[in-house]
Amino acid sequence: MPRPELQVRRWKRVEYERLVDKGVFEPGERVELIDGMLVVAEPQSSPHYTAIRLVERALTRAFGEGWDVRTQAPIALDDTSEPEPDVAVVRGDLRDYAEAHPADPVLVVEVALTSLASDRAHKSSLYARAGRPEYWIVNLVDRVLEVYREPAASPSALYRWDYGTMEALGPSDSVSPLTAPAARIAVADLLP
């Protein structure tokens, strides 16, 4: 006997933020709003957390004053998505976002161990759809940095958008963020 199809209720970002404000989620509960769905985030292993901190340190040096390097903080991506990327770089100062989460990071970084497939399919398409110019995956499985650029419509992608280019860089390589082209970051400095 065929199973009946489940009805799914999609959430808007403003509704999700009301749930957060009302304390619906437990402190420290890692939940993100992704295209209207509440998604549980990857647990923190030691290598995963170490990589997050290494990326934060490298990007803080690369971008300098006038930029806020945020770790595991909400981004108001669009009306149905408020992900909490492992690291995001936004213009301005921390206090600029006291009233509302930033909406336009210039660089979004996910650290992937168990979430690699999801970060490549779901997060890549989501960030591309939002027009984020650059998305990196610190791939701990293969010990490479995957650099995604040139967001473009892609009918076969999950959210109908993806990045036009992807370059995998090894530990002996370096990378320059699009918004900080003078900075050179050694990939080895991002890996635990």
Domain that holds residue 125: 42-190
pLDDT digits over 33-44, tens only?
Answer: 888 888 887 678
pLDDT digits over 8-64, tens only?
Answer: 788 888 888 888 888 888 777 778 788 888 888 767 899 999 999 999 999 999 999
Establish how many alpha carbons lie within 13 A of residue 41's alpha carbon, considering only the half-sphere containing its beta carbon: 22
CATH number at residue 79: 3.90.1570.10
In a domain, 159, yes or no: yes
In a domain, 75, yes or no: yes
Q: Any idea what DSSP says for residue 185?
A: E
Domain count within the chain: 1
In a domain, 59, yes or no: yes
In a domain, 167, yes or no: yes
pTM over 0.75: yes
Residues with pLDDT less than 70, the chain = 1, 42
Residue 42: the pLDDT is: 67
In a domain, 18, yes or no: no
